[in-house]
Amino acid sequence: MTNSPAASPGDAASGPVPPPASATELPPSVGAFHYTRYEPRTPALEPGGVEAGSHPVVIAGGGPVGMALALGLANHGVRSVILEADDTVCVGSRAACISRRSLEIMERLGVLRAFMDKGLPWTGGRSFYKTAEVFRFEMPNDERQKLPPMINLEQYYAEHYLLEEILRRNERTPGLVDIRWGTELTGLSQDDEGVTLDVRNAEGAYRLRGQWLAACDGGQSFVRKTMGLALEGTGYEGRYVIIDIELKSGHPTERRAWFDPPWNPGSTVLMHRQPDDIWRIDYQLRPGQSTEEALQPAAVAEFVQRHLDAIGEGHLPWKTVWTSVYRAGAMTLESYRRGRVVFAGNAAHAMPIFGVRGLNSGFDDADNLAWKLAFVAKGLSDAALLDSYSQERIEAFHVNAENAMRSTEFMSPPSRGFDLLREAALSLSEAHRGIAQLINPRQTQAVRYAASPLSSDGDALPAGPLPGEAMPEQQLERGHLTDWIAPTFTLLVLRPDLVALPAADIERARKGALPFVLRSIASPGTDGADAHAAPEVFEALGARDGAVYLLRPDGHVAARWHRLPPGALQPALARAARELSA
């Protein structure tokens, strides 16, 4: 066993703190992954150390959320500058489970193939009480889906693939995403026209301006702290040690959880397979156990060997590659917009690790924010559109937090009463499968923005996504429905042979300032449609005899109609985009 890079203990509002970057040594390679150090770059400066001009968007933080936001803006042709204090991608697996919804977002950003080529798909998992299996779950997965419900992929790979796509975009359009490594944000102020930022790197300090600042700088957010803001919500006492080990095991990719195992009584242990024979082990520290002692190499080695012995793999060679500690919490800012500053990812909220809602929520933040910030930066929409970002993502936080907190209270009971209830449920689960549903980890899924101010009233349909919901995947004769989600508003017409569209309204939308496309799906053998689908697709979308959906650039439904009434399209578009000319 070898000593591993270790993160400092975090708290509910921050998560693990990454180890400091070394001035002389790169982090050690992990499996097939080799770290690269990126040199800082100082732009041309005017007298006084000020960069000329003003950038449309400055992004604080070049982690996965910051880079996803930059690529989302690039999809709309909006330039951005990323300020990243570190000079490498992250150390350690960190957020390692990528959901189907996040994979859909990654496809729109151009990195899906890389994620899928390296990531390990999985569909379910098993839970044990002591040594008995008491629950097995399967996430929704059927032939309509082109993507698995979840893949495991270490965060350093995710960041690397996002960075590669940024570099490809910059080859085609130089300067589209200006990522500045080793550049620390040291001060900020804002006025009605934008933000003024003070930064420093190894070459010196300078000042720059941006019209908007997106704070994607993680749980330790400098922007959040400098503005005097704090996350509020529920923090849990339960602490979890995270250990990445390299182990050549043939066990399939699934999520395994052991409650009160004999080799670590009174605790919970989780285990996930990751690429390159890296296995992620999370285990709960018991009350009174020292965090610092638990992270000592000897303590890590003793626990891992004991765990592997218990599951029948103790004879296999292994080594530690990363350790950290995490305390669960569900916390959020009161608002994700403060003037010219917007917050996303862990800078805006903290999620318990259970149900993998951390990074996946961050990707949803970036997906929601990118098109809105682009529309505002391009002068298409009023800045009030960014208030809808805050409203929708805070609504999503509460939906996610409710499910995550249920899982957290089961995984890490906050009181003796919860502990007794959990023991009773676990002891009865093997014989009573209905009770076993209490163990369901409630994995993340797309959230409906039920109270979205961007949604318009339309028609009741017998089925299909409601306004605010993400359009679900559907198998077409060629391709899938999500292939059409683009950086535009999409009017999706189902059964166009049965739906008469107001031609003048469609022409006006096509000639308007907002990006807009018309798509149609017909029954097989029908001419004049963009695609064809089987009858069950129309049944699933409530369109047996036709329907029309207005989809936002992030794939959420802005409005839906059985028949599109004359004069209804323009108000729905204007409402969904907070259009300036409306």
Measured CA to CA, the distance from residue 554 to residue 470 in angstroms comes to 8
Contacts of the segment 189-193: beta carbons below 8 A, 24+ positions apart: 190/339, 190/340, 190/341, 191/340, 193/54
Q: Which has the closest alpha carbon to 199: 212, 186, 217, 215?
A: 186
Helix axis angle, 385-411 to 416-429, nearest 10° = 70
Q: How many angstroms separate the Cα of 357 from the Cα of each of 274, 329, 346, 353?
A: 18, 12, 11, 7
What is the CATH T-level fold of the domain 469-577, as seen in this structure? Glutaredoxin (3.40.30)
Label residue 295 left, alpha or beta by phi (over 0 means left) and psi (-120 to 50 means alpha): alpha
| Interval 73-132: pLDDT, tens | 999 999 999 999 999 999 998 889 999 999 999 999 999 999 999 999 999 999 898 998
Per-residue pLDDT for 431 more than 60?
no
Per-residue pLDDT for 443 more than 70?
no
Per-residue pLDDT for 370 more than 70?
yes
Per-residue pLDDT for 18 more than 50?
no
> Who has greater pLDDT, 429 or 352?
352
Q: Read off the pLDDT of each residue in 373-384 and give the average, rounded to a whole number.
A: 97
Number of CB atoms found within 10 A of residue 367's CB: 26
Please tell me the predicted confidence (pLDDT) of residue 161.
98
Task: Confirm whether 54-113+141-232+330-397 and 469-577 share one CATH topology.
Answer: no
Please tell me the predicted confidence (pLDDT) of residue 17.
43
Please tell me the predicted confidence (pLDDT) of residue 20.
46
Q: Read off the pLDDT of each residue in 56-64 and give the average, rounded to a whole number.
A: 98
* Rg (the chain; Cα; Å): 25
Q: Read off the pLDDT of each residue in 526-548 and give the average, rounded to a whole number.
A: 94
Banded model confidence at residue 407, pLDDT cuts 50, 70, 90: low
Measured CA to CA, the distance from residue 5 to residue 110 in angstroms comes to 31
Per-residue pLDDT for 21 more than 60?
no
Domain range 54-113+141-232+330-397, its CATH number among 3.50.50.60, 3.40.50.300, 3.30.300.30, 1.10.10.10: 3.50.50.60
Query: Residue holding tokens 């961007």?
Result: 454
> Who has greater pLDDT, 51 or 288?
51
Q: Which residues pair with 188 in a beta bridge?
A: 197
Q: Read off the pLDDT of each residue in 322-343 and give the average, rounded to a whole number.
A: 93
Q: Read off the pLDDT of each residue in 6-24 and give the average, rounded to a whole number.
A: 45
Q: Read off the pLDDT of each residue in 556-577 and give the average, rounded to a whole number.
A: 97
Please tell me the predicted confidence (pLDDT) of residue 7.
45
Banded model confidence at residue 437, pLDDT cuts 50, 70, 90: low
**Burial grade of 293 (CB within 10 A; 0-12, 13-18, 19 or more):** exposed
Q: Read off the pLDDT of each residue in 306-318 and give the average, rounded to a whole number.
A: 97
Q: Which has the closest alpha carbon to 75: 112, 114, 110, 113?
A: 110
Q: Read off the pLDDT of each residue in 27-38 and give the average, rounded to a whole number.
A: 95
Q: Give, rounded to a whole angstrom, the gap between the first and last alpha carbons of the chain.
A: 65
Per-residue pLDDT for 136 more than 90?
no
Please tell me the predicted confidence (pLDDT) of residue 1.
43
Backbone angles phi, psi at 112, to 5 degrees: -60, -45
Per-residue pLDDT for 2 more than 70?
no
DSSP letters of 269-302?
EEEEEEGGGEEEEEEEEPTT--HHHHTSHHHHHH
> Who has greater pLDDT, 166 or 140?
166
Pick the most confident of 260-274, 418-432, 544-558: 544-558
Domain boundaries, the chain: 54-113+141-232+330-397, 469-577
Please tell me the predicted confidence (pLDDT) of residue 8.
45
Please tell me the predicted confidence (pLDDT) of residue 346.
94
Per-residue pLDDT for 14 more than 50?
no
| Interval 241-286: pLDDT, tens | 999 999 999 999 999 999 889 999 888 899 999 999 999 999 988 8
| Interval 446-505: pLDDT, tens | 889 999 999 999 999 999 999 999 999 999 999 999 998 989 999 999 999 999 999 999
Instruction: Give the distance from CA 415 to its chain's centroid.
Output: 30
Cβ density class 63-85: b for 16+ within 10 Å, e for less = bbbbbbbbbbbbbbebbbbbbbb
Backbone angles phi, psi at 573, to 5 degrees: -65, -45
Measured CA to CA, the distance from residue 528 to residue 190 in angstroms comes to 52
What's the mean per-residue pLDDT of the chain? 89
Q: Which has the closest alpha carbon to 443: 489, 407, 392, 393?
A: 407
Sheet with strand 97-99: strands edge to edge = 97-99, 150-152, 120-122
Which residues 6+ apart lie within 8 Å of 142 measured at CB?
none
